[in-house]
Structure 1
């Protein structure tokens, strides 16, 4: 029995690159997907500004050591850990290690909606 596959899209990193670094911003709505993500590639001391989203966010630490501030909590995470944050709660992350930190920030939305607090 043959099944007809729906359209499949492959997005090369350079198509969604942020600036001149290795970071990427994928907005699902532009590619027929119901989720969005940031791929983050930070050096020690680098991280995000304090911000919030009207939907939950999930981070998967791929490499290095990160500190996540979610509301009034600070959570330490390392390669392999998954951290979640609720909707409408200000949060940020920072590379607190001595090497490169890589993570994926998964947005439960086909478009990224972000309000910066600082």
Structure 2
């Protein structure tokens, strides 16, 4: 992390030091500047990858940049693809599995730390 002057703003670099956004899979909590969110950067070329059923006490937003994933949100199934945003409300059980062309997305947790209740 690099602070920008005395503004409280900061630049957070990739942990692996790469200067690009390719194959970037990383979790971020307690972001500087009082951001109030946690982030998951997910990038894979594998099909069938994803977390088991879980929920959070806050909303989670998925910004899908490449590929697709089949989401189960409560009892509904939806295929999300590049160019879409999926918002899962607080306390709603959800999971996903990546599609045949992989998946790249930013997951935004509306909380400074991850709070997850695993349901399976």
TM-score by length of 1: 0.82
Measure how far apart 1:5 and its partner are. Answer: 6.5
How many pairs were matched up? 108
Distance 1:30 1:107 in 2: 12
17, 39, 42: which one aligns with 1:40: 42
Give the alignment's Cα RMSD to 1 decimal. Answer: 1.8
Q: Secondary structure at the match of 2:15?
A: helix
Unaligned runs of 5+ in 1: 16-20
Structure 1 runs of 4+ with >2 Å offset: 29-32
Structure 2 equivalent of residue 18 of structure 1: none
Unaligned runs of 5+ in 2: 17-22
State whether structure 2 residue 15 is matched by structure 1 residue 14: yes
Distance 2:109 2:25 in 1: 15
Distance 1:50 1:82 in 2: 19
